[in-house]
Amino acid sequence: MSRRTTWEDNSCPIARAADIIAEPWTLLILRNATAGTTRFEDFRAQLGIADNVLTTRLAKLVERGLMTKLPYRDGGRTRHEYRLTKAGSDALPVLHALGAWGDAHTSSETAYGPMQLVHCACGELTRPGEKCDACGKALVRDDLAWRGSWLSEGEIPLADPVGW
C-alpha cells in the first residue's frame, strides 16, 4: 500500500523522518541490519517479506542514504549486500525507544524476555545513553549488543555501519 502524501519537504522533522522510516517493514529492515543482516535472501527469510516489497524498501533506504549497496560475488553472479550508513546507524535510538515501548506496552508468549542492551566491554546491562550504567565508560556502538531480542535470548552484537 502506498501513501498518497509525502512529507519529504515538511517543516516538521518528525514528519520528514516518518516519510522515510514509518513505512511498513522499514523499521524491521533497519532492526535486522543493526543486528548484522546484510543480504537480500536473509532479510527475506528472517522477515517473511515479499520480494517486491523488500526490493522497494531496500531501494528507498539506499536512495535516502540510510543504507548502502555493496556488490559481492556469489559463484559466477554479482549480488549485493546492504549495509547501514551513518544515517541508518543513527536510527539506533529510535529502535531502542520502540523496543522499550513495546516491552512496556505489548506482550508476546514467544518473546525471549525484555530486549536489553549489554555493554560488552564490562559485560553488564545498561541503558541507551552516553555512559554505561555499570562501569561509567563511554558507550561505543562496537561495544554494544542486544540480549533477549526477537532472534534469540543470547547476545547479538550491533553491526558496524559502512562509510564512517
What's the CATH number where 37 sits?
A: 1.10.10.10
User: Does 20 reside within a domain?
Assistant: yes
User: Does 58 reside within a domain?
Assistant: yes
- What distance in Å separates the CA atoms of residue 53 and residue 125, rounded to the nearest whole number? 36
- Confidence grade of residue 4 (pLDDT, cut at 50, 70, 90): low
- What distance in Å separates the CA atoms of residue 120 and residue 163, rounded to the nearest whole number? 23
User: Does 6 reside within a domain?
Assistant: no
pLDDT (0 to 100) of residue 144 = 94
pLDDT (0 to 100) of residue 92 = 93
User: Does 119 reside within a domain?
Assistant: no
User: Does 54 reside within a domain?
Assistant: yes
Q: From its phi and psi, is residue 65 left (phi > 0), alpha (psi between -120 and 50) or beta?
A: left
From 119, 113, 106, select the one nearest 148 (Cα to Cα). Answer: 113
Q: Are 46 and 37 in contact (CB under 8 A)?
A: yes
Burial class, 29, CB count within 10 angstroms (exposed 0-12 / middle 13-18 / buried 19+): buried
User: Does 21 reside within a domain?
Assistant: yes
- Decide: helix, strand or coil at residue 15: helix
Residue 64 has pLDDT above 60, yes or no: yes
User: Does 95 reside within a domain?
Assistant: no
User: Does 82 reside within a domain?
Assistant: yes
Which residue range is the domain that position 28 belongs to? Answer: 13-88
From 55, 57, 59, select the one nearest 69 (Cα to Cα). Answer: 59
Q: How many domains does the chain have?
A: 1
| Helices 26-34 + 13-21 axis angle, to 10 | 80
Mind listing the pLDDT tens digit for each residue in 16-62?
999 888 888 999 999 999 999 999 999 999 999 999 999 999 999 99
Reading the block at residue 99, the C-alpha cell is: 523496543
pTM for the predicted model, two decimal places: 0.88
Q: What is the mean pLDDT of residues 4-23?
A: 87
- What distance in Å separates the CA atoms of residue 130 and residue 133, rounded to the nearest whole number? 9
pLDDT (0 to 100) of residue 39 = 97
